[in-house]
Amino acid sequence: MKIAVIGTGYVGLVTGVALSEIGHHVTCIDVDPSKVETLSKGIPTIYEPGLEELMKKNMAAGRLAFTATHSEGLAEAAVVYIAVGTPKRADGSANLDYVEAAAKDIAHNITQNVIVVIKSTVPVGTNFHILNVINANVQPGIQVKIASNPEFLREGSAVNDTFHGDRIVIGAEDEATADTLAEINAPFDMPILKTDISSAEMIKYASNAFLATKISFINEIANICESLGANVEEVAKGMGFDHRIGPDFLKAGIGYGGSCFPKDTNALVQLAGNNHHDFNLLKSVIEVNNNQQVLLVDKILSRFGNLEGKRVAVLGLAFKPHTDDLRESPALVMIPKLAELGADIIAYDPIAIDNAKRQIKEEIEYTEQLPTALQNADFAVVITDWPDVKNIDLSEYNQLMNDPIVFDGRNCYSLDAVKQATIEYYSIGRPDQTSELIS
């Protein structure tokens, strides 16, 4: 089938490439000509494992193309996906400006009947609003159907999630539209849920809000464990055996980040408030996460008191491994605080440094080499559980640092391994490994 995808960010680019991989002819449209030029060379403009290989494969097969011209990209397309950003406004609501702009571009350039599929994460009711925008601008006689097909992709594993996800949700108001989208997605070979449009929109928000709630819950349990001398990893393991709870998203740490959970939880709180419902539970989830992101700073101050002149190795900048995305990363909160307290900072990340330099205003050093970051450091702070960080020989902390003191925001290491390595170690929701070293 001839398909157009508007937007080439994480969702749009992965969606377009994946649809071409299962046999459709896809043209991805972006308003940035320089971005299109890069993509047309087979070079992804985002970091996502496995994406470049699939791009080049399907471009060579003639199933995938890129353009900055809407009339070209929309020509003969039977289905048009909107996959543009919906960033958070100051009040927490979703900014729909880009979605509305895409809708107008569709209306002004299509010459045939189409199905418009909103892939972007949007508040309940947006699909119908966008249909009205299109109908107000489209040529007379052209029929447009609207559908919701929310994405459930995790950055860093988006390609894998596209082909091995849990479900595909299709929201449509007529059976023919739902059947067409089911046929398009059939080669992905996963369960397909057909529902009404409003329910499809809500499924996305509700799913992310629930997962965020689970993360904040286990982080609160972790903080209680520290007070009581319990180990949150053992607690989470015991909870996870209960099939009603499950083990996923019960890993304590310094909070969630990225483009989805923070934005979607805030948007759902705002959406609820607009409809006279005070979502107190989700407000607490957000508050817990905000507090969790600075938890290590409190631990560091408790240990040192004064950070003036201390050299700190910040290990990881991206909000999670296998992505260069810093949106809502704890690094963006912690680095300014450490700098304000007088610390001398060197930050390690294998791929996110360029993005970090655009967002971090403090004067710090950067390195893509983990040993360089640790060399002569007075303490290290683990923010992102990159494989290089998780799999490091713990003796390297002893060998490279002035003092082997580690504040681990991702619980990367087993306490037994830490004891054998004789490093001073602070983690989340587990007993600190300090007594023998600083007594």
* pLDDT tens-digit series, residues 193-217: 999 999 999 999 999 999 999 999 9
136 pLDDT tier (thresholds 50, 70, 90): very high
322 pLDDT tier (thresholds 50, 70, 90): very high
Domains of the chain, residue spans: 2-195, 204-291, 293-438
Answer yes or no: is 317 a known binding residue: no
- Residue 100's Cβ-count burial label (10 Å; 0-12, 13-18, 19+) is middle
Answer yes or no: is 121 a known binding residue: yes
CATH architecture of 2-195: 3-Layer(aba) Sandwich (3.40)
Residues with Cβ < 8 Å from 283, sequence gap 6 or more? Answer: 269
Instruction: Catalytic residue, from 28, 225, 260, 412: name it.
Output: 260
The 3-class SS string of the chain reads CEEEEECCCHHHHHHHHHHHHCCCEEEEECCCHHHHHHHHCCCCCCCCCCHHHHHHHHHHCCCEEEECCHHHHHCCCCEEEECCCCCECCCCCECCHHHHHHHHHHHHHCCCCEEEEECCCCCCCHHHHHHHHHHHHCCCCCCEEEEECCCCCCCCCHHHHHHCCCCEEEEECCHHHHHHHHHHHHHHCCCEEEECHHHHHHHHHHHHHHHHHHHHHHHHHHHHHHHHCCCHHHHHHHHHCCCCCCCCCCCCCCCCCCCCHHHHHHHHHHHHHHCCCCCHHHHHHHHHHHHHCCHHHHHHHHHHCCCCCCEEEEECCCCCCCCCCCCCCCHHHHHHHHHHCCCEEEEECCCCHHHHHHHCCCCCEEECCHHHHHCCCCEEEECCCCHHHHCCCCHHHHHHCCCCEEEECCCCCCHHHHHHHCCEEECCCCCCECHHHHC
Question: Tens digit of pLDDT for each residue in 13-47?
Answer: 999 999 999 999 999 999 999 999 999 999 999 99
Q: What is the mean pLDDT of residues 132-144?
A: 97
- Average pLDDT, rounded, for the chain: 95
Pairing of strands 168-172, 144-148: antiparallel
Q: Do residues 162 and 20 lie in contact, with contact meaning Cβ atoms separated by under 8 Å?
A: no
Q: What is the mean pLDDT of residues 250-272?
A: 92
Fold equal for 204-291 and 293-438: no
Residue 129 CA, chain-centre distance (Å), reads 26
Higher pLDDT, residue 146 or 89: 146
pLDDT higher than 80, residue 437: no
Identify the CATH assignment for 293-438 out of 3.40.50.620, 1.10.4160.10, 3.60.10.10, 3.40.50.720: 3.40.50.720
CATH 2.40.50.140 for domain 204-291, yes or no, is no
Answer yes or no: is 250 a known binding residue: yes
Q: What is the mean pLDDT of residues 170-197?
A: 98
Answer yes or no: is 337 a known binding residue: no
Question: Tens digit of pLDDT for each residue in 54-105?
Answer: 999 999 999 999 999 999 999 999 999 999 999 989 888 899 999 999 999 9
Answer yes or no: is 119 a known binding residue: no
Closest to 55 (Cα-Cα) out of 4, 16, 84, 22: 16
Question: Tens digit of pLDDT for each residue in 367-412?
Answer: 999 999 999 999 999 999 999 999 999 999 999 999 999 999 999 9
Closest to 352 (Cα-Cα) out of 381, 379, 328, 323: 323
Q: What is the mean pLDDT of residues 412-434?
A: 94
Cα separations in angstroms, 213 against 194, 237, 296: 26, 18, 21
Packing angle, helices 261-274 and 197-228, rounded to 10: 120
Answer yes or no: is 327 a known binding residue: yes
pLDDT at 439: 41
Q: What is the mean pLDDT of residues 243-269?
A: 93
Answer yes or no: is 45 a known binding residue: no
Packing angle, helices 261-274 and 280-292, rounded to 10: 150
pLDDT at 265: 95
Q: What is the mean pLDDT of residues 293-307?
A: 95
Answer yes or no: is 303 a known binding residue: no
Q: What is the mean pLDDT of residues 307-335?
A: 96
- Distance of alpha carbon 156 from alpha carbon 143, whole angstroms: 38
Residues 424-427: contacts with CB within 8 Å, 24+ apart? 426/296, 426/299, 426/303
Residue with tokens 């508040």: 123
pLDDT at 259: 81
pLDDT higher than 60, residue 421: yes
pTM value? 0.92
Answer yes or no: is 86 a known binding residue: yes
pLDDT higher than 70, residue 438: no
The yes-or-no answer on residue 260 being catalytic is: yes
Residue with tokens 């948007």: 267
Closest to 184 (Cα-Cα) out of 35, 20, 6, 345: 20
pLDDT at 435: 46
pLDDT at 240: 97
Answer yes or no: is 349 a known binding residue: no
Residues above pLDDT 70, as percent of the chain: 99
pLDDT at 290: 93
> Quick one: tokens of 150?
């929310």
